[in-house]
Structure 1
């Protein structure tokens, strides 16, 4: 999607030259980490479509897909998120998959409306115990190749939780398309949604649909909407008029007429706006990769500066090395100070995360208790999948925020201890490898969940967290660069998401069962999240200790080599010493040049926003 020209090409070139030098001089780990982070930007993104009912979301999705795959119609309202994702080895083109908490099921594409629309045959069936949390259709969008398009539940209106849930599950840079009608200015709920969305993501575009039915006034409405956003939110917004039906009709025309009709439909302008949002979202990982490179190069330059000074007979440089060696030996031999500080900092981070989780879950309990009492359980029963998506998003957000709070504190500890975060990935990979869901099928749990849920079914969720999204998300959890932020979403959500879906039974049994179910689900979320944090502590702390002792040993050996090099140089004649200095200086000049190249590439990316 992005052509490697301009600033982007300079960044790729700088990365290649710097990582080659890092490997050449023994810094393979830094080189590998830099490349991994830099190229994380190359993965496809998710585009999430949100909007009030009957605004034309599904028609717009079909227009970008280039064929009618999303269920549409006057009386059809999407009741579950539908993902349109490029085909792969797990899902062939034109096939569909329903994702349930404990399993997934392949279905003919023609049966999709039965499962994901408000009037769907299975959605209306009172004997169905669980409905899919989402559906996945293998289809590569014609106008946005390589991307995933997510059609969120129309019955949920403009609920930010649906967009948050989809973007979180995507695990990639994404954009939000808010779909509204071109016949009238933005409504109060739409403005409020924009306010919420732009607080957490600048990647939002407003698509005004059905301009073919409002040809005379839609441009005036669009300008009015821009003014409303400036006035209400204090920022500018990309507002584009589009006709999904005209864009679909254009595909049936001759190639000579097609482009003109597509341009008039606004679909090409929307495509370009989405691509621009995603491209700007890729700046961060590219900059991150370049910064890792720069840190590694800077460490190499610092070492060369010291080696040159020592070979030249600088006594102060030699004294500094001896002091560092003595300090490192003391840390290696005793380690009492840093070990105690490590325990203190990990404990404080865990306490802050626990407090954050308690506050968030208390707020979820208050909000949903009020909603159940005000709307009534009968109303919720009419929109079971909307209810599922909304409360799942709240629980997931609370769990993720707590773990992210703790992981950020742990990351800071590791970075300060080692002087860089190159050890961080190895530590978190070790944590991920040991995290295994616990059995919650105890007599106490069985008693609490009597008449509300089946505890044996709960176990299926914990045993098969990867099944939550049919492998789309679960398979990507381990080894992710953002592992610290996403680990609990798979490991905790296994039971919690299944618990949410078993709320269908509680809905049928009445309001009190639903309130009981809510309380128990919140407790399960808290216990599961804290369990993951405790396991992370149990695994991460010894990993940090072992890695730091290894780090101290390596540092000591490096300093010893520098001291020995100085001692050898003192025995050499001036000609030999000068020759050695010239060799070190040439390497130093090479490193300085690469640092300057990295700095230029970083500045270029920031200015150009990697727009091709």
Structure 2
């Protein structure tokens, strides 16, 4: 057995397999088919998929030029002193050159209008000066060997790291395997840049820093070394590589007829080491995430099995109060199942506040933005006017992302409380937006017409995952951007269609148009958010009302099976002592497994931090 990338060795693989088999044996013994499904669905730790790298940087740092160089298409993403990327652009491997544009759909946020375009047309959709439509993102496919197994996402450059774009980027990083952060050789990495990097390192397993424009600064090595020291001294970034690059040198190397000179110039450009680091670090980070996910699932299964074992032992040793509680829970759960209309009413009442509370919070955030940007439009520096609308769109998007994510968290907490009130489970795992990338138990909800054995942990987790997706965006607006950011970007860009009209004319005319547009955009954003959140709450109510009865039935079945087991053991007085000792041995064995799983989780977290 060979080692896996990311510091994961054969001993780790063996430990996961051994613990999985031990837990599966116990799950089979107690007929917990739901836990067996969880264990069976664990992905192999040595599975390597396509790696996803998000490219981020302050404006004018050479980010788009670096992207073009990496994929061997010098003119793909717009580059220039007065050119700024206005939207997300994903570039991946394809057998032929093709591009698809995602445009915000005012009628349905999260379901964009899609339009095919030629590669030479991409600039008019992504360059701020050229944009005339609310473009969310562009997906590009090119037959570049570099992109085999690697997807690169370029982010909007408008507004820098202090604007709403950076907060949206942070939300999207949870779906990435690596962050390629771009700064330049004019000065060491700045405080805002390092603050962004530190926050990003909590969301993405791998960070690589590229220092660009090293071909135009003879003293670039001092800047690179200073940046290295700052990055290495920042918690969470100690092992992040900092690499000097010069994109123009790599581009020139492709034009040289002399192969040796071309190879030498390519080496000097720093592009090959950057690509090597991206691939190696991304693979290591993805492997570490898979390892941690596996350890978390083992821990969840172990907790469920140990909780059941301890309860059985407690009841057999004579805890009459607990046994009466079991019988009372069975009766209560059966009453819930026998009164389906009442259950639907309870679900509606529990989620009702979500129809208005998120919208009220969003209104407050948008009003603060409206006042600030209205004032800037009327009295701010003239230099701010060209990008003012895009900055507002970025900030409104960030406000919508935060509101949708918060609503998803509130919904899962409300439903978890409801389940506890109904006696639905000892522990309901919430797969939230704070979980590591990829930790989602994606099984289909149980069929309400059939009675499931056990608590059905996967189905419970799936319900919470689905609730998060209902509010945070189950549809990916573009492959580059998904989750709450997808819905938020679509929603906000749809209100921004009119801003392009304010880009021309005399200064006072532009100021008046911008100020009026800011007011209209804020009002439109509030109205759209209210409609969207209301629709999503209704969908959440339908989903919970459909799935909850099956989960309650699964809980009732588990408690009934537990009661039957107690009755069988007690019915044979001669064998009772042996049965009690057997279950004590099972409980002690599970405590040993729990300690091993705990050590595995710690090991996984250590690997991921490395």
Structure 1 gap segments, 5+ residues each? 438-464, 475-485
Q: Secondary structure at the match of 2:100?
A: strand
1:299 paired to 2:304: yes
Q: Secondary structure at the match of 2:55?
A: strand
Q: 1:350 to 1:518 in 2, by over 3 A?
A: closer
Shift of residue 172 of structure 1?
0.6
Q: Deviations over 1:418-455 (max 9, x none)?
A: 22223433434775899999xxxxxxxxxxxxxxxxxx
Shift of residue 294 of structure 1?
2.4
1:109 paired to 2:109: no
Between the aligned partners of 1:107 and 1:358, the Cα distance in structure 2 is 37
Q: 1:529 to 1:316 in 2, by over 3 A?
A: same
Between the aligned partners of 2:235 and 2:588, the Cα distance in structure 1 is 50
Q: Deviations over 1:521-567 (max 9, x none)?
A: 23224413531453255335535752453144223312222222223
Between the aligned partners of 1:63 and 1:115, the Cα distance in structure 2 is 20
Q: Deviations over 1:392-419 (max 9, x none)?
A: 5334324323323423523653675522
Q: 1:536 to 1:9 in 2, by over 3 A?
A: same
Please give the TM-score of this superposition, normalised by the length of structure 2: 0.72
Q: Which residue of 2 aligns with 1:225?
A: 227
Q: Which residue of 2 aligns with 1:61?
A: 67
Q: Which residue of 1 aligns with 2:329?
A: 328
Q: Deviations over 1:23-44 (max 9, x none)?
A: 6343333344466686799665
Q: Which residue of 1 aligns with 2:21?
A: 17
Shift of residue 137 of structure 1?
1.0
Between the aligned partners of 1:498 and 1:45, the Cα distance in structure 2 is 31
1:367-516 aligned at under 5 Å gives the runs 367-375=372-380, 380=385, 382-383=386-387, 386-387=390-391, 390-391=394-395, 393-410=397-414, 412-413=416-417, 416=420, 418-420=425-427, 421=429, 422=457, 423-428=459-464, 468-469=477-478, 486=483, 489=485, 494-505=490-501, 510-516=513-519
**8 Å Cα contact 1:44/1:172 also seen in 2:** no
Between the aligned partners of 1:73 and 1:100, the Cα distance in structure 2 is 22
Q: 1:566 to 1:23 in 2, by over 3 A?
A: closer
Q: 1:316 to 1:355 in 2, by over 3 A?
A: farther
Q: Which residue of 1 aligns with 2:523?
A: 520
**8 Å Cα contact 1:77/1:155 also seen in 2:** no
Q: 1:511 to 1:534 in 2, by over 3 A?
A: same
Shift of residue 95 of structure 1?
1.2
Q: Deviations over 1:174-207 (max 9, x none)?
A: 5443322213334xxx432432452354455432
Q: Secondary structure at the match of 1:24?
A: helix
Between the aligned partners of 1:400 and 1:282, the Cα distance in structure 2 is 30
Between the aligned partners of 2:552 and 2:101, the Cα distance in structure 1 is 49
Between the aligned partners of 1:498 and 1:377, the Cα distance in structure 2 is 26
**8 Å Cα contact 1:492/1:529 also seen in 2:** no
Q: Which residue of 1 aligns with 2:600?
A: 601
**8 Å Cα contact 1:392/1:500 also seen in 2:** no
**8 Å Cα contact 2:213/2:245 also seen in 1:** yes
1:211 paired to 2:214: yes
Which among 76, 95, 114 is matched to residue 70 of structure 1? 76
1:195 paired to 2:195: yes
Which structure features the higher share of helix residues?
1
Between the aligned partners of 1:42 and 1:371, the Cα distance in structure 2 is 49
**8 Å Cα contact 1:246/1:265 also seen in 2:** yes
Q: Secondary structure at the match of 2:97?
A: coil
Q: Deviations over 1:87-125 (max 9, x none)?
A: 47xxx54211222124222222122233333565xx4xx
State how many pairs are aligned: 548
Between the aligned partners of 2:275 and 2:309, the Cα distance in structure 1 is 50
Q: Which residue of 1 aligns with 2:448?
A: none
Between the aligned partners of 1:224 and 1:44, the Cα distance in structure 2 is 33
Q: 1:496 to 1:316 in 2, by over 3 A?
A: same
Q: Deviations over 1:286-331 (max 9, x none)?
A: 4344233223234334444565787xxx5515x3563232331453
Between the aligned partners of 1:96 and 1:280, the Cα distance in structure 2 is 29
Please give the TM-score of this superposition, normalised by the length of structure 1: 0.72
Q: 1:514 to 1:268 in 2, by over 3 A?
A: same
**8 Å Cα contact 2:104/2:135 also seen in 1:** yes
CA RMSD, Structure 1 to Structure 2 (Å) = 4.8
1:141-290 aligned at under 5 Å gives the runs 145-154=148-157, 156-158=159-161, 160-166=163-169, 168-169=171-172, 172-186=175-189, 190-199=190-199, 201-202=201-202, 203=204, 204-215=207-218, 217-226=219-228, 238-248=241-251, 264-271=268-275, 274=278, 275-276=280-281, 279-280=284-285, 283=288, 286-290=291-295
Larger mean Cα displacement after TM superposition, 48-57 or 335-344: 335-344
**8 Å Cα contact 1:346/1:409 also seen in 2:** no
Shift of residue 235 of structure 1?
7.6
